[in-house]
Structure 1
């Protein structure tokens, strides 16, 4: 059996658990009739329906359609495409199902329309059924149907099947190339996108403005500045910058994604001021990159030219507010959104996210509760806000409401819930396995984000073997996947396995990042692998060119301190920006207490007290150290100071209000 046929069978089986895609819908007909001969010439009736659909009179067209005693495939196609063209996707799909149930055989136009409908509206299960019918009726070699199938599988995330169908097309015209380029662009794989572009040139297919939009946008995903600038030169040479506003705006977005603000500004200045898209893009770019003054100035000029700000402008401001934790700016933007009545789902979700990141969880919940229709995006943003505040049980409860309320969930929902579950006091590997089953059943088994969340959750709940199983099922693990399993092993004390996994990762040609090195150092620290830890710490700087941060030094100090090498830990900490860090010196003092190193401990206690003499916890730790080495008098003095400092802190604030009755 061909691989595509096997996939279709497996996919149809996977989707069978879901509720039916289309519910039974009746099109109610009015009591009066339409003035036409319903039993007249079929060709004439089709022409009349076509004219009614083109004029937007769908109700009248449907009444005429319902009264026709004879219909052919063209009649059905007119109504199906008409409803789809005017945005009534569900009604269009219902008509197609009624057409099939009536025994009518589809033609190429039917399949092109219905496959486009399935792609744009996410009716993937129905799309797979249509693909089966395409194969049975022998339309697989049709260029337009083949292109629609490529688009369907690209939207489903099955680029492998999309490629295979694309390669099997009888001819690959510009429209087909643009379909596959758009699919790859949406996945964010810039290298693959450029490779396809070179292949397209070998096929002697000339790109158009749409092609360049996908290519330029794709280069922005992985910050391919040089390649994007080459494309900029090419579109300038072809005159597309001045003649195609979409290409010009894609250049603004590309340069902003690459952090080249000057080039983004230059590209913006080349666009006529009449274009509202470029204004909104530039406001979003400035706000998104932290240029708040420039963003506000452009926003003011935009209104001066009479251009109405769109949701994208406010999304940039909300992003800036979240990044800077500026609740005041966020509230001002919220007020503007309400004033302009921009109640889009994306803005509502961003407001929920902004209030959560700015520490106002009450407003975040209030906006969520005021949303007329709770969407997946809004639920995901609220879940992230709740998780940020440590409300883990609320996150899990919200996930249950999403499932019960038929809202559904995606990879972000699953990842957030798994994180909350791993931090919950009531969780277990059994509850984690339940979410694991949900991910498999809903088709997210191979999603990298979900897999990494499962690895982390299982390891936090003591199921390290399950973490290993999830990792082993990942076909092509990337740096994030390896970091997740290394962190999981480190958390459970498998230091040797951490090093082995780290070695496997580097042999696979993957470059570890700072988080990876921190996970390996943590594993060495928990397992007492001092020599190995030194080598890893040294390799981080010499082989990978990464400068250690505070967490790396803290981990190394902890590793050396656990082994009793306190002097080496002190020497490592010297001449670093963190030599005045109380937490690191607290770790050194704790090691001195365990190993009864009096000299190093006295030095660490003095430095610790000097760093923050008002912190009673530091005095108490120093007191415990002196008690352990037998200096009871000093220990008593330090404890008295700690008690005094604590009392000062406790009574440092007063709610007594003195009223002047003068």
Structure 2
């Protein structure tokens, strides 16, 4: 208790003592305690039996200080003495219910109001009306509104804005128009409520049209209206309208408003106009955190992650008081643009800086943990969310399911999913995607059927994961049935992603001609994903003719993607067409393209280690290569000969064996063996598809070393145990 409050209580107690001696104990003393927030002391002074006036005094004070829990406690206690609240007291209870979003008690109070006849009181009616608006029960609010004898601008504006927030364009405009027809002229607050409501509900065009109508009506916008319409312009309309509003704001002299400045930075960021965004920011007299956050988000949207990082570091050096939104935006930026290590480091720095992560930060961080299989970091984030009591937030929950699946712990993902009380569609899709990634088609189809039993309606993402699961397991007939059911049973028009899955499903199963026929009969123009699925399948089955067709389509669609050239080169190499291999590589050289090096990640002691094929810079590389040589000898003795078929270069057999030893996933696994205790599991992420020789190597290690090895390549997870892979050698 503060010193000031102790003195205050002492003073009140002194008066209390005097009044006891003088016999003047009455509601004035109760009021004195209550108005100094000494509610327990005030409650002890209630007469026996208590009267309505004593309760009213304390309830008024509790409501005045926004002590909602105590207000309802007193209200409940008052009713237990069969004391009936009057029309002046009821709004205090309704206000408390609105603060706590307590619908059950509010409905009970509404029932009492109806039976007691208090609904005729304008203040009671208005309190209930605004309560229903706040909790989103617009039907109840509309019923009260229609019964109001005198509808003022405040109530009309509030109802119209409520409909706008619910994206109910028809009712919002109806209420707004009737307000004007009845002689109640909308003010700036009325227009702002409509603009903000439509913006919040994603009705961006409606928000812009309302702003335009307000301008035509002769009203001058304020900072709130400008700040409300600019996000909609950025989302929907674009730069031309934004530039017009910019000129208007300059004309009416609102550009000095900090909120307007931040809204312009955000709008230009959404329009990917980095030059204009930076110009607005540089014109600021004082750099505030809102503008900083808008600038970071804008740079992130444009994919300028390095510039965003540099800007963030500059803000730190300038001692700008960055908040949780600033740090979360930067973590999300890194996580979304392949800067996973940086995202993890930012999360650590954020906590060191004393900024407390929230339920938005964790879902932004967890994808970075999953991307590089940083399981210990993901577990730490999970523990943090439990300590902060937001682990059951639906967004945190879906991100945790996704993270555990991406780190190879699909059983853990399912366990956590089962703990969720009301998983939404995103959570179901996260689990379904996890099963697809692990090639667990049976479990994926079971989850899909469970969704239907629970009444969860699938979407396009659901079918992408389902078809991918069928593709990983070669379930051609099942995949065809699910693809056909999209439109026939669920009313979902197949998109490019589903066609790409079907091409992959057919192609991987060796039905390349059927896959090509599907592409040529598509109602959509095939994109790079579709042709890429065919080219990858041609690489698996060494089909040169269709591979060339797919590759040259991809050269047109993605002229600067080196992966497409490498796949065609590999098809030629597998057929011994070395001249054609040289031609493809000459094309790459002429375009300044280089093959992406094989890269693998493995976590050890809370640090993620990256190993590159052919890179000698790792401090333990000499030990890794020495151990790899020993294992190669041991493999040969055990009958595991190196499969040099997977070296697609025209070199001697011995050189091919040497090349195979340098594959990054082998280096990562050996690094793990050298640095972890015998028998512990290893988790590796690979940026390319695992080759057959490395696949055999992992099988051998899982037997000889008694290790469980999880390898996630670009296609799927491979779980090696006792010499067997979960993919069944189909990948």
Matches of residues 471-620 of structure 1 in structure 2 within 5 Å?
471-576=417-522, 581-597=527-543, 600-601=546-547, 603-604=549-550, 617-620=563-566
**Structure-2 separation of matches of 1:76 and 1:403:** 42
Match of 1:464 in 2: 410
Residue 568 of structure 2 corresponds to: 622
Deviation at 1:232, TM superposition (A): 2.5
Q: 1:602: how far off?
A: 5.5
Structure 1 residues 98 and 516: alpha-carbon distance in aligned structure 2, compared to 1, 3 A threshold: same
Task: Work out the CA distance in 1 between the residues paired with 2:455 and 2:464.
Answer: 19
Match of residue 379 from structure 1: 327
Once the 2 structures are TM-superposed, how far is the Cα of residue 567 of structure 1 from its aligned partner?
1.1
| Residue 192 of structure 2, aligned match among 222, 244, 249 | 249
The CA deviation at 1:475 is 3.6
Which runs of 5 or more structure 2 residues have no equivalent in the other structure? 8-13, 20-27, 47-53, 595-731
Q: Pairwise mapping of residues 56-67 of structure 1 onto structure 2 (< 5 A)?
A: none
Checking the alignment, whether the CA contact within 8 Å between 1:483 and 1:515 is kept in structure 2 is yes
| Change in CA separation of 1:475 and 1:588 when aligned onto 2, cut-off 3 Å | same
Distance 2:383 2:112 in 1: 37
> After the TM superposition, which residues 152-301 of structure 1 pair with which residues of structure 2 at under 5 Å, given as runs?
152-154=99-101, 163=106, 167=110, 170=113, 173-185=124-136, 193-200=137-144, 208-240=152-184, 242-254=185-197, 257-258=202-203, 259-260=205-206, 261-270=208-217, 272-273=219-220, 277-278=224-225, 281-282=228-229, 285-301=232-248
Indicate yes or no: 2:572 matched with 1:638: no
Cα deviation for residue 566 of structure 1 reads: 1.0
Identify the residue that residue 396 of structure 2 maps to in structure 1: 450
For 2:339, the equivalent position in structure 1 comes to: 391
Aligned partner of 1:331 among 278, 302, 307: 278
The 5 A counterparts of 1:36-47 are: none
Q: Deviation per CA, 1:500-551, whole angstroms, max 9, x where unpaired?
A: 3333434555443322222222222223222232233233344445443332
Aligned-residue offset at 1:577:
8.0
SS of corresponding position for 2:360: helix
1:649 CA drift (Å): 4.7
State the partner residue of 1:412.
360
Q: Equivalent of 1:357, from 301, 309, 327?
A: 301
CA distance in 2, matches of 1:505, 1:583: 28
CA contact (8 A) 1:288 1:316 kept: no
The answer (yes or no) to whether the contact 2:71–2:93 under 8 Å persists in 1 is no
1:368 to partner: Cα distance: 4.9
Q: Secondary structure at the match of 1:289?
A: helix
- Of residues 382, 404, 413, the one that matches 1:436 is 382
CA drift at 1:150:
0.8
Give unmatched runs, 5+ long, in structure 1: 1-22, 30-37, 44-70, 81-95, 120-126, 186-192, 653-662
| Aligned partner of residue 558 in structure 1, secondary structure | helix
Distance 1:239 1:614, change over 3 A: closer
The 8 Å contact of residues 73 and 107 in structure 1, kept in 2 or not, is answered as no
Which of 305, 321, 324 is residue 268 of structure 2 equivalent to?
321
* Partner Cα separation in structure 2 for residue 130 and residue 73 of structure 1: 15
SS of corresponding position for 1:564: coil
Q: Deviations over 1:432-491 (max 9, x none)?
A: 444334334433243221121122112112332333333334444433233223223222
Q: State how far apart, in whole Å, the 2-side matches of 1:248 and 1:210 are.
A: 12
> Matched residues in 1 for 2:59 and 2:369: separation?
44
Residue deviations 1:596-633 (CA, integer Å, cap 9, x gap): 546544554565567678876544433432443x4x2x
Verify the 8 A CA contact 2:153 2:186 in the aligned structure 1. no
Q: Deviations over 1:44-63 (max 9, x none)?
A: xxxxxxxxxxxxxxxxxxxx
Segment drifting more, 407-416 vs 584-593:
584-593
SS in structure 2 of the partner of residue 540 of structure 1: helix
Q: TM-score, normalised by structure 1?
A: 0.71
Q: Determine the C-alpha separation between the residues in 2 that align with 1:113 and 1:299.
A: 47
Q: Is the 8 A contact 2:297 2:329 kept in 1?
A: yes
Structure 2 Cα separation of the partners of residues 579 and 363 of structure 1 = 40
Q: Are the structure 2 counterparts of residues 465 and 276 from structure 1 closer, same or farther at C-alpha, using a change threshold of 3 Å?
A: closer
Taking structure 1 as reference, are residues 565 and 111 closer, same or farther at Cα in structure 2, changes over 3 Å only?
farther
2:401–2:413 CA contact under 8 A, matched in 1: yes
Distance 1:502 1:307, change over 3 A: same
The answer as to whether partners of 2:161 and 2:193 remain within 8 angstroms in 1 is yes
SS for the counterpart of 1:512 is coil
Are 1:304 and 2:251 matched, yes or no? yes
SS at the partner of 2:167?
A: coil
**Mapped contact 1:619–1:638 kept (Cα < 8 A):** no
- Aligned residue for 1:411, secondary structure, equals coil
- In structure 1, the residue matched to 2:728 is none
Q: Are the counterparts in 1 of residues 129 and 141 from structure 2 also a CA contact under 8 Å?
A: no
The alpha-carbon distance between structure 1 residues 287 and 203, as it changes in their structure 2 partners (threshold 3 A), is same
Q: Is the 8 A contact 2:287 2:320 kept in 1?
A: no
SS of aligned partner of 1:386: helix
User: In the aligned structure 2, how far is the partner of 1:491 from the partner of 1:218?
Assistant: 43
How far has the Cα of 1:561 moved from its partner? Answer: 1.0
Structure-1 residue corresponding to 2:652: none
User: How has the CA–CA distance of structure 1 residues 605 and 279 changed in structure 2, closer, same or farther, with 3 Å as cutoff?
Assistant: closer
State the partner residue of 2:704. none
Quick one: higher RCO (CA 8 Å, sep 6+), 1 or 2?
2
Aligned-CA RMSD value: 4.1
Contact 1:619 1:641 in 2 (8 A): no
Aligned-partner Cα distance in 2 for 1:620–1:651:
10
Contact 1:252–1:265 at 8 Å: present in 2 too?
Answer: no
Pairing of 1:78-93 with structure 2 (within 5 A): none
Cα separation, 1, equivalents of 2:238 and 2:558? 36
CA distance in 1, matches of 2:171, 2:153: 17
**Aligned CA distance change for structure 1 residues 626 and 374 (closer, same or farther; 3 Å):** closer
Q: Deviations over 1:331-353 (max 9, x none)?
A: 012123x13x473x433322232
User: Contact 1:421–1:427 at 8 Å: present in 2 too?
Assistant: yes
